[in-house]
Amino acid sequence: MAKIDRCRPSINSRNYTRPIVFSNLPQEEKQALQDLRHRSDITIKPADRGGVFVVWSRELYNQEAHRQTVGQPFLLTPSQVICDVIAGAVERNINAVSHKPTRVPI
């Protein structure tokens, strides 16, 4: 309990209404990134891996986004996904049964 009581004044003296800002970039690099962020002719996005950023021309970014999304379903609810999976399984089973040769008694 004594340790907590010693920490309370330090904790209570902090200003939690303003965000804590930490940057490992020099001021010049930080300013350059902010300048890039405000340009309308480029798009800056985080890369899939590696914790790096990718800078695209806006036109190329839009073309690539369109290429990756053409024909792809978006924002499906879990029930829609389940229905699609079940419908596919039912169709495969019906096709498998309907293509089996059957014996006809003579």
DSSP string, 8-20: HHHHHTS-TTS--
Q: What is the pTM of this model?
A: 0.41
Token pair belonging to 50 = 């590696």
pLDDT tens string 38-61? 888 988 888 887 778 888 889 988
pLDDT tens string 70-95? 766 666 666 666 777 777 778 877 77
What's the rounded Cα separation, in Å, for the pair 83 and 24? 49
β-partners of residue 56 are 43
Contact 36, 29 (CB under 8 A): no
What's the rounded Cα separation, in Å, for the pair 34 and 64? 24
Q: Is the pLDDT of residue 37 over 80?
A: yes
